[in-house]
Amino acid sequence: MRVGIGYDVHKLTEGRDLILGGVLIPYEKGLLGHSDADVLVHAIMDALLGAAAMGDIGRHFPDTDPKYEGVSSIVLLRNVGKLLEENYYLIENIDATIIAQRPKLLPFINDMIQNVTETLKLSPKQVNIKATTEEGLGFTGSGEGISAQAICSLGTVANYIYDDSSQAGSGCSGCQGCHEKR
């Protein structure tokens, strides 16, 4: 098992949409950033990339590249999912926390979970998203910004291949893998 941690923070500003977990949240301010500034998805991507020892989102999607200006972070998350798949990583679970004094996010959490699970082809039982405040303390508590933290665990395809020589040749098309009984 491999574990990764992600963290992101963006400043709240007027004239921007507030997007969290790919959900447009009605609010008078949005997050400032090169992409849609979705701190939740950014933290999840960094956790996934970290667990796979593949750097961070800045390496894969630099904010100096004009093609990422205003891009949906869900699109970037889909690309991270494909990268993990190409390298034979399987997402075991994701647990994330959004830290924001306002707005109240509970009504949007299920939509956020649905967006992440559909994008990464996961079960809702593999993704947990929650929100909390900082009781008025710090930059999130004063309403200057929003942050998010995420942790994830990855497995590899090799974790699911068992060597059972007594079953040799009995797997799918003679595969030596899982020996699924038909």
Would 57 be classed as within a structural domain?
yes
Mean pLDDT by 10 residues, the chain (182 residues): 97 97 97 95 98 96 90 96 96 98 96 98 97 92 95 87 54 50 38
Would 177 be classed as within a structural domain?
no
Annotated binding-site residue numbers for a divalent metal cation: 8, 10, 42
What pLDDT score does 82 carry? 97
What pLDDT score does 181 carry? 41
CATH code assigned at 17: 3.30.1330.50
Run of H or E including 154: strand 145-156
Q: Is 96 helix (H, G, I), strand (E, B) or coil?
A: strand
Annotated binding-site residue numbers: 8-10, 34-35, 42, 56-58, 61-65, 132-135, 139
- Its pTM stands at 0.87
Would 181 be classed as within a structural domain?
no
What pLDDT score does 172 carry? 52
Query: By residue range, what is the domain housing residue 44?
Result: 2-157
Number of domains in the chain: 1
What pLDDT score does 175 carry? 54
- Residue type (1 letter), 1: M
Q: Distance of CA 158 to CAs 94, 117, 154, Å?
A: 20, 23, 12
Would 153 be classed as within a structural domain?
yes
Would 162 be classed as within a structural domain?
no
Would 81 be classed as within a structural domain?
yes
Would 105 be classed as within a structural domain?
yes
What pLDDT score does 73 carry? 96
